[in-house]
A and B are shown apart, each in its own frame.
Chain A
Amino acid sequence: MNRIDSPSPESDALTLPAPFLRWFAEKGWRPRAHQLELLSRAEAGESTLLIAPTGAGKTLAGFLPSLVDVTRRDRMPPSSPFVGIHTLYISPLKALAVDIERNLMKPVGEMGLPVRIENRTGDTPQGKRLRQKLNPPDLLLTTPEQLALLLSDGEATRFFKDLRYVVLDELHSLVTSKRGHLLSLGLARLRRLAPRLQTIGLSATVAEPMELQRWLAAQAPDRQNHAGLITVSGGAKPEISILNTENHVPWAGHSARYAIPDIYAAIKQHGTTLLFVNTRSQAEMLFQELWTINDDSLPIALHHGSLDVAQRRKVEAAMAENRLRAVVATSTLDLGIDWGDVDLVVHVGAPKGASRLAQRIGRANHRMDEPSRAILVPANRFEVMECQAALDANYIGAQDTPPVGKGALDVLAQHVLGMACARPFDALELYEEITSASPYADLSWETFERVVDLVATGGYALRTYERYARIRKTKDGLWRVSNPFVAQQYRLNVGTIVESPMLNVRMVKRNQRGSLGRGGISLGKVEESFLEMLSPGDTFVFSGKVVRFEGIRENECLVSQAFSFDPKVPSYAGGKFPLSTYLAGQVREMLADPARRAGLPDQVRDWLALQRDVSMLPGENELLVETFPRGSRHYMVIYAFEGRLAHQTLGMLLTRRLDRAGLKPLGFVATDYSLGIWALDDMGAAFEARAPSLGQLFDKDMLGDDLEAWLNESFLLKRTFRNCAVIAGLIDQRHPGKEKTGRQVTVSADLIYDVLRMHEPDHILLEATRNDAATGLLDIGRLGSMLKRIKGHITHRRLDRISPLAVPVMLEIGKETVHGEAHDFLLTEAAADELINEAMGGAHGADG
């Protein structure tokens, strides 16, 4: 590994062609050492991963080998045969591809290089796309979805035959998702079309660089290959602090309302501030609160993924022109776009992961030599500890990026169909190509065959769809699409981002007669599942306004101006990150070690001291379980620190066990830090009588049958199944001729799931669904390692009343609902009300 942190030695600069040297000299700059290093390795034929902090000139480094190569290449006479693209640049964001084009055109223009650079995204007009195919640019900047589309085209062979470099930007964020899986398969195909191809990966710091290095190289059955690595260290140490406040930090909640005046003061003191939050609802709330006290009418804007595109673009433009003083944003702004001169990043709520924090703070300044300034604003006391842990981590460079993971089977199914659309394929040849992509290196031939079968006829044991097959093996042994309609269907549905059904939100007015008017402005989109919870008249915050829900007309959610100050805040499904394993470990250490707590504010230290006196502070690998009565119920609080998802799964499994033990559990609630369960019976007494013992209760065999039984009924699995079914092409998001989306999908994925589970529980899509759930929504892996870690280290404290540490989770009760499966009891209640009402003689009395 090369670690480079000094400017380049003079002599290396000689490897650059004259226009480059002239340009650097005119600017009074010198190429940086890592830029030259990457160039010389590329010229030696090596694929390379470049890890560098923001502002290190990563983009120029990534493109330098291409620019130099194209410049040196002989000019093509107009009559020369077709030349395909030279370099492909892939970014996770459309906006980034457009941004890079702008940034790259400037030096290329100044140097007068004979290089054509164009982007191709979903927004590129049809005419331009066509021209790009006939007369490709030298450098094409695009996204993973567009690459999949290009590869499924019959002309792909010609288009990519001269490809020399693939530059992959923000690789760390691309590889961990299904988009990354799809991209890895696309890369495998590119290698087949252009065997000389080299890859250049650009990444922020990651925990396991070798995973990315392998991802960049073709894998062989008998050995693991990997790209080279250049790491640029340095970058100024960020100045991060935790908000210093005189105000009382709340015990629970996520609003950070207490800190609003302090945040406003910080905005006033800085030029441009970026405010990051973890969820869209927090963004809405913070924006609302800031405007309430915005006496100076500072230009403060809001930016999140559900807002109307036009509105988002407006905010982005204003930001680039430095017309804003502050922007409240969710992860939509996380990635490497330049946002003008941001000189302060405020992170409201805990960062949930040390790497995420480092990335977000990197947004400030965007210049490597100046320190970034950031303020962390914990929303509650646990978050104070978490912020402290993240802050320590940022200084010591610890990273907790998620692993790349095994390639998803639904993505593979989509890719197989795409490859059939491109040209007829030989199964064995395609299998070899696919297993050269590192996420699919371990794919078995048998699984591959099942995926091909899934693509062809749905992969059912009952083989009734042969005559409708989408792809068929013909006499020459090759698989090909049955008809052109299949390819059309594929192109409409390409990609791995499945939107949950969303409705457009439109602001309307009531006319004098009280009926709703037509027209009005569109505010953005909101999940249908959220609206199902609303009754007309309910209020919620959306797009920075308090609005009143009026109803649903056609496919739009109608709202009107509300005059309520206590809105129901949208509980969006998206945007909740669980606490990273690394930070959780740090928080546990902090609880166990008095020295680590020294840096915490007084009010938090006092809170922990009280906990120590009343109950105890658990040791690093100890699991503390408290039980206590409250009202007519008995509570158990488990301090597992494994993140909300794992806790939710644990809660489901433990309540099943408690139920079997006859302790009559009623419900549970999970936070990132702990899990609270309540029951009719005294669980504390039962544990003391070892009926059951805590060891038995927490035995890891709960991950066996209990998990299986619960999973089969779980709504979480249904949601996951829908995504898998759409990605695999079993259900179309869009159907040729009728471009339907979301709620208009004519078949219900839930019903299909039920039918499939009942008749073919081993179907490959159900397998894919379970794999997804285990790593994602349920965090089973993490739960498993926790159960192993705490075995024999469970400490039970039976208390008379609630402990200080238990307060946060107890306050969540009622806000968080139990995701039960059997809803029938609710119907029983409703029907009982009807009877009671009838008996009381009220004809229409009961309220709904």
Chain B
Amino acid sequence: MHRLLHATSGPAANTFLQAATSVNGVAAVCDPLGGLFLPESRTLVVSDLHLEKGSAFARRGMMLPPYDTLATLRILEAVVARHDPATVVSLGDNFHDRKGSAAMPEIFRQMIAAMARGRDWIWINGNHDPDGAVGLPGASMDELRHAGLVFRHEPSLVDGLGEIAGHLHPSATVRRRERCVRRACFATDGRRLLMPAFGVTTGGLDLRHRAMSGLFERERLVAHMLGRDRIYSVRFANLLG
């Protein structure tokens, strides 16, 4: 939740530290709010927004707070304002389930419309929302090739070269003084990059989990962990499993 505090706390929101990296030779910047910015093409990438997760659960009888969509969109507004991108790519699982994008209240649609004004907006389809976004600005597609990179929801290329993907919600753990700190992270070995989940009620999966195996060259793998107001970059070998 510190992301939301930071995103909405006014002037101080501009004092932050991002981390520079590159994927297949394309320069990229990891923002502590959870977005990836590609300066050359002025593209902002976010992943796994899981909008309308609360209402998806409510529909099944678990009355989770109905505030998650608003909180996620507020952070998205902040990161869009910060980078003023020409293109925004949302990498799938944009909604928590198929019904989410059609059922989303009007006020949130307006927030998204305002953000998308004057930009290209791409909704990549995810496994939670394979049917695309309904009644929202921008285009829905399964995959996008853009700015020398491939954007898709689930990582799938065998060699992974130049792939930006989400789906797995990577997180990393660091142990210091007998305490463990676990944070969502960008994970990249310079060939492929996995995005952290952007939604406020999304959990994480450890980089050492077997679902991640084979995706990266571990010797080159770096976790760019989301801290309060900066990115902490830690090599894979120095993470805790």
- B174 contacts the other chain (CB 8 A): yes
B129 CB to closest chain A CB (Å) equals 16
Tell me whether B232 and A830 are in contact (CB under 8 A): yes
- A823 contacts the other chain (CB 8 A): yes
Contacts of A844 in B (CB 8 A): 219, 235, 237
- A707 contacts the other chain (CB 8 A): no
Count of CB-CB pairs between chains A and B under 8 Å? 140
- A834 contacts the other chain (CB 8 A): yes
- B227 contacts the other chain (CB 8 A): yes
Tell me whether A848 and B66 are in contact (CB under 8 A): no
- In the bound assembly, the distance between CA atoms of A755 and B160 in angstroms comes to 35
- A447 contacts the other chain (CB 8 A): no
- A551 contacts the other chain (CB 8 A): yes
- B61 contacts the other chain (CB 8 A): yes
Contacts of A755 in B (CB 8 A): 1, 65, 67-68, 71, 200-201
CB within 8 Å for A823 and B181 given contacts A758-B67, A830-B174? yes
Residue in A closest to B222 when the chains form the complex, CB atoms: A834
Contact stretch, chosen from A173-181, A264-272, A530-538: A530-538
Contacts of A468 in B (CB 8 A): 55, 58-59, 61, 63
Contact stretch, chosen from A29-37, A157-165, A310-318, A455-463: A455-463
The residue from A485, A756, A830 contacting B234, defined by CB atoms under 8 A apart? A830
Tell me whether B232 and A827 are in contact (CB under 8 A): yes
The residue from A752, A824, A828, A847 contacting B238, defined by CB atoms under 8 A apart? A847
Residue in A closest to B219 when the chains form the complex, CB atoms: A844
Tell me whether A535 and B235 are in contact (CB under 8 A): no
The interface on chain A, measured as residues whose beta carbon lies within 8 A of the other chain's beta carbons, has a size of 50
Residue in B closest to A814 when the chains form the complex, CB atoms: B178
- B146 contacts the other chain (CB 8 A): no
Contacts of A848 in B (CB 8 A): 174-175, 237-240
- A829 contacts the other chain (CB 8 A): yes
Contacts of A828 in B (CB 8 A): 232
B42 CB to closest chain A CB (Å) equals 28
Contacts of A536 in B (CB 8 A): 241
- A747 contacts the other chain (CB 8 A): yes
Tell me whether B179 and A823 are in contact (CB under 8 A): yes
Give B161-210 interface residues, CB cut-off 8 Å to A.
173-183, 200-203
Contacts of B60 in A (CB 8 A): 735
Give A790-848 interface residues, CB cut-off 8 Å to B.
817, 822-824, 826-831, 833-834, 844, 846-848
- In the bound assembly, the distance between CA atoms of A489 and B59 in angstroms comes to 13
Contacts of B203 in A (CB 8 A): 747-748, 751
B154 CB to closest chain A CB (Å) equals 19
Tell me whether A464 and B105 are in contact (CB under 8 A): yes
Give A725-783 interface residues, CB cut-off 8 Å to B.
730-732, 735, 747-748, 751-752, 754-760, 763
Tell me whether A486 and B63 are in contact (CB under 8 A): no
B130 CB to closest chain A CB (Å) equals 19
A417 CB to closest chain B CB (Å) equals 10
Tell me whether A830 and B63 are in contact (CB under 8 A): no
- In the bound assembly, the distance between CA atoms of A758 and B67 in angstroms comes to 9
- In the bound assembly, the distance between CA atoms of A309 and B64 in angstroms comes to 34
Tell me whether A470 and B61 are in contact (CB under 8 A): yes
Contacts of A82 in B (CB 8 A): none
- In the bound assembly, the distance between CA atoms of A457 and B62 in angstroms comes to 9
- B26 contacts the other chain (CB 8 A): no
B96 CB to closest chain A CB (Å) equals 10
The residue from A730, A757, A823, A833 contacting B64, defined by CB atoms under 8 A apart? A730
Ranked nearest first, the 9 interchain pairs of A and B with the lowest CB-CB distance are A458-B63, A754-B1, A759-B67, A826-B176, A827-B232, A823-B181, A848-B238, A468-B58, A831-B232
State the A residues within 8 Å of B (CB). 454, 457-460, 462, 464-465, 468, 470, 485-486, 489, 532-533, 535-536, 551, 730-732, 735, 747-748, 751-752, 754-760, 763, 817, 822-824, 826-831, 833-834, 844, 846-848
13 further contact pairs, Cβ within 8 A, besides A747-B201, A826-B176, A848-B175 = A485-B61, A532-B182, A533-B180, A730-B62, A751-B203, A754-B1, A759-B71, A817-B179, A822-B228, A823-B181, A826-B179, A827-B234, A846-B235
